[in-house]
Amino acid sequence: MYAIVEIAGHQYKVEKDQQIFVHRLAGEAGAALEFANVLLVDNDGDVKVGAPAVEGAKIEAKIVEHLKGDKVIVFKKKRRKGYKKKNGHRQALTKIVISNIVA
């Protein structure tokens, strides 16, 4: 059984007991979450597609930890102009584990 759910503006394919990294969510580690914007649910071949969301479907999850992603280097340069700009970025992430899919 799997579902496609929208979390923080991004769509994820999730299964029970799966751990995923999403953009930073509010809440402490160990807090329970519930996502109601489920776009598709597949229960062993029985597919329910929402328009835009499946009615009555929800995803239950738990926050494992908050962390930062890998550093991404942003480098800008204009040749022959002496312009160079180096910047780094680390995305704030939340690791969640999917505890249940209710269809």
| 99: Cα separation from own chain's centroid | 15
Domain segments of the chain as ranges: 2-102
| pLDDT at residue 23, as a whole number | 96
| pLDDT at residue 100, as a whole number | 95
Residues 23-45: pLDDT tens digits? Answer: 999 999 999 999 999 999 999 99
What's the alpha-carbon Rg for the chain, to the nearest Å?
A: 18
Nearby residues of 66 by Cβ (< 8 Å), 6 or more positions away? 24, 29, 92, 93, 94, 95
Residues 52-95: pLDDT tens digits? Answer: 999 999 999 999 999 999 999 999 999 999 999 999 999 999 99
